[in-house]
Amino acid sequence: MATINVSRARARGLPKATDGPPDRGRRGPTLGRRVRRNLTGYVFLAGAIICFALWSWYPMIHEILLSFQHLNLVGQSEGWGGWRNYEHMLNDPNFWTSVRVTLVFTGLALIFGYAVPFVLAVGLNEFRHAAWYFRLLVYLPVMLPPVAAAYLWKWFYTPDDSGLFNAVLHDLHLPTSAWLQSSNNTFVILCMVIFSTWSNMGSGVLIYLAALQGIPGELYEAAELDGAGILKRVWHVTIPQTRLILSLMLLLQIVATMQTFTESLVLTGGANGTGTLVYLVYQDATNFNNFGGSAAIGTVLLLVLGLFSGAYLWLNRRGED
């Protein structure tokens, strides 16, 4: 019986009873062998790393160094200034005005710029006929140059009857608006957000559509059999199935809107307290030659976005675990 059991064990590939413990001296491939094995991949990766270092890491490090220096009118360093640029920034009322504008813009953009593309994607996903036409129509604004699109909307927002929006309101016998020249600062920021949503929503719609088309149709069929309408299907099927892409798009939306620049530059010119933080960086550097102070504002924005992104990804990973 023992002989039969040993034969069966050997037939199954089990180690012999007389075999000793596995050889602990055996090791995997050495570092040099692994490098040679993946040399082609490293070569292709090196180009991307070099480009990323030149166009991303170096400017960030250079900006941080500039924020601690005094620079003359031609941008040459006149020595280290320590924290003086940051002290001047914190005591500057224009900085806090720009912080408020940026936060208000980001909050309104989360309502419109984040929700509208998802709603449009859900609606387009229900279309079965001429779906390509509607998708192309939604994506068209992304193809326009941002500055050209901003000037187009600046004409839309012209406060007299020559502006498109006021002309339509006048033809409908409705009261017109001052739009971008309104005394209500929040309303002006809302006008900027509407333009930003229109010009950028095409990419978000396509990303959401790709995620929606990856949801198994059986889930929707089961929900319909249970009597769920479109709102319940979206709440109980669509949102849970696209939770990861929704969280990623939320992060990208916040990071992008915190760096808003074109809207302030073209639509309002930063007038009446409508300049964002990035616009203040541009204004300090170009109009006032305050390169060190401009770099300090950019560094603070970089640190805030970096900490927020890191904390958000960490919390999201903990939620997945």
Q: Which range among 88-102, 180-194, 213-227 shows the weakest confidence by mean pLDDT?
A: 213-227
Q: Which range among 15-19, 186-190, 280-284, 313-317 shows the weakest confidence by mean pLDDT?
A: 15-19
What pLDDT band is residue 167 in, cutting at 50, 70 and 90?
very high
Return mean pLDDT, the chain: 85
Other CB atoms within a 10 A radius of the CB of residue 210 amount to 12
What pLDDT band is residue 231 in, cutting at 50, 70 and 90?
confident
Q: Which residue has the higher pLDDT, 244 or 16?
A: 244
The predicted pLDDT at position 307 comes to 92
Q: Which range among 24-28, 176-180, 269-273 shows the weakest confidence by mean pLDDT?
A: 24-28
- Domain segments of the chain: what residues? 93-320
Q: What are the pLDDT digits (tens) for 98-157?
A: 999 999 999 999 988 899 999 999 988 877 676 788 888 899 999 999 999 999 999 999
- DSSP letters, 58-104, are HHHHHHHHHTTEEE-TTS-EEEE-TTHHHHHHHT-HHHHHHHHHHHH
pLDDT higher than 80, residue 33: no
The predicted pLDDT at position 146 comes to 93
Instruction: Report the CATH number of the 93-320 domain.
Output: 1.10.3720.10
The predicted pLDDT at position 73 comes to 59
Instruction: Please tell me the number of Cα atoms within 13 Å of 33 on its side-chain side.
Output: 4
Q: Which range among 23-27, 90-94, 102-106 shows the weakest confidence by mean pLDDT?
A: 23-27
Q: What are the pLDDT digits (tens) for 65-87?
A: 989 987 765 656 667 778 999 99
pLDDT higher than 90, residue 29: no
The predicted pLDDT at position 192 comes to 96
The whole-angstrom separation of Cα 159 and Cα 166 is 7
Phi/psi of residue 84, nearest 5 degrees: -65, -40
Structure tokens at 103: 């936060």
What pLDDT band is residue 164 in, cutting at 50, 70 and 90?
very high
pLDDT higher than 60, residue 56: yes
